[in-house]
Structure 1
Amino acid sequence: MKRFAIEFSYDGTNFFGYQGQPNVRTVQGELENALEKIFKQRIYTQAAGRTDAGVHANGQVAAFNCPIDRLTSKDVKNALNANLPRDIYVKTAWEVEKNFNPRFAAKKRIYHYFIYTNERDVFLRNYVWHFKYKLNIEKMRKAAKFLEGEHDFTSFKKGNDRKNPVRTIYRIRILKLKPHIILIRVEGISFLRSMVRNIVGSLVKVGLEQWSPEKIKEVLELRSRQEAAGTAPPHGLYLYKVIF
């Protein structure tokens, strides 16, 4: 039996997150529904990561077994796109080893977070964080340096996340793409629930000059979620790419 991996994108606006759940619409649920239509049996998938409700993806990766050996990668891609809803699109498919699991095989995950610092644009409302205040990007960059490397990220996890809080962030870049668009790019091995959004929320406090850049180091070392700023909204966040 062949095993395939797919790289796909989705608009997270109308999903209750990635992970399959009963009685609500999820990305995994729609993907497995499409596979069931194609193969006439339930096909279970494994993904590189889970995204929360409202979070988008440009390069999510999932893998699954294919019960029809004659199908090619192109066949799988085309069949899925013919059966998936319009807010999910398979960009590419390829054959992988029988034991390939994208969650454990991933060497790096890259997240993008977009902040729009202008008056509200109704056409962007589901895809950026509208934040019409001036942000000091240089101070945010200085603060972000304290988060790079291996640290205990207890201060930046979701309160009920009981996973090991020690994580590695390779790099955080903060770029001004257009006059009113700021991109925060976070590269790491793996992340705790809401970790990137919590980091963004705290970096924005620095950008507003309500916190000094050094405050981020202090918050990190205190290892208390109560010490960090609030969570940035989900719709500005994208799982941009998974590297294997």
Structure 2
Amino acid sequence: MKRVAIEFSYDGTDFFGYQRQNDVRTVQGELEKALERVFKTSIQTYAAGRTDTGVHASGQVASFDIPSERLSELDIRNAINANLPRDIYVKKAWFVHENFNPRYEAKKRIYHYFILNSKSNDIFLRRYTWWFPYKLNVEAMREAATYLVGEHDFTAFSKRGEDDTNPIRTISALRILRLKKDLILIRVEGISYLRGMVRSLVANLIKVGTNQWKPEHILEVLESKDRSKSAGLAPAHGLFLYKVLF
């Protein structure tokens, strides 16, 4: 047996999230079906993170054991891609040590959130950006973001989840970039996140961007540890798991 890691991308539009579920289409489910077709046996995979329904990835990482000793890394990548649906693509495969698990060995997970900030919608971007046709004060959003960097209790910026027993998380960087006149990127870097945390951060920053909140109000929400004080969640389709670093 050899343990393999893959970096892969997927369009989350037509998936009910990453994690395998009965009777619905998921990324993990489709990946494991492809692996079973390639290796003629059931193979369990372990991912660096679970994305919600509609969320995309350009740099998801998963690991699994394969029974074949003869295939090269390139052979493995090509064989899996030949059996995957068109909305999943393996970018590279490599051999790792026998205990490698991307969930526990990841040193940083980077998420990108895209906002189409224009009066007119672009139907070709509708699956991958949040169309927000109102003026945004990016400088105020950047000021608000400074309150979120560091180690905090992010309870107010999360969805309820039984597995989120420890609400303390560390954001190492939070940048807001205007890539083009009408395209805004919110880049969040950290080791791990609570459920829905990145989408909640975006929704709250938007409140500041529309001048409904002053930048320092973000700190009040953070310190409240109260989800009802939060602005809720930004739409899933603007979010990408961009990169996992080890």
| TM-score > 0.5 by shorter chain | yes
* TM tier, smaller: over 0.9
RMSD: 0.7
Q: 2:61 corresponds to which residue?
A: 61
CA distances 1:183-215 after superposition (whole Å, capped 9, x unpaired): 000000000110000000000000000000000
Taking the aligned partners of 2:190 and 2:161, their CA distance within structure 1 comes to 21
Taking the aligned partners of 1:145 and 1:49, their CA distance within structure 2 comes to 25
Shift of 1:162: 4.5
Shift of 1:144: 0.4
Task: Select the residue among 226, 239, 242 that pairs with 1:240.
Answer: 242
Structure 2 unaligned regions, length at least 5: none
Percent identity between the aligned chains? 66
Matched, 1:180 2:191: no
Shift of 1:122: 1.3
Q: 2:31 corresponds to which residue?
A: 31
Matched, 1:88 2:88: yes
Q: 1:121 corresponds to which residue?
A: 122
> TM-score under structure 1 normalisation?
0.99
Cα pair distance change 1:103/1:193, threshold 3 Å: same
Structure 1 unaligned regions, length at least 5: none
Taking the aligned partners of 1:198 and 1:6, their CA distance within structure 2 comes to 29
Q: 2:9 corresponds to which residue?
A: 9
Q: Which moved more, 1:218-227 or 1:158-167?
A: 158-167
In the alignment of these two chains, the number of paired residues is: 244
Amino acid at match of 1:108: K
> TM-score under structure 2 normalisation?
0.98
Q: Which moved more, 1:51-60 or 1:159-168?
A: 159-168
Cα pair distance change 1:224/1:162, threshold 3 Å: farther
Contact between 1:161 and 1:192, CA under 8 Å: does it hold in 2?
no
1:167-206 correspondence runs (5 A)? 167-206=169-208
1:11-160 correspondence runs (5 A)? 11-118=11-118, 119-160=120-161
| Runs of 4+ in structure 1 over 3 Å off | none
Task: Select the residue among 228, 233, 243 that pairs with 1:231.
Answer: 233
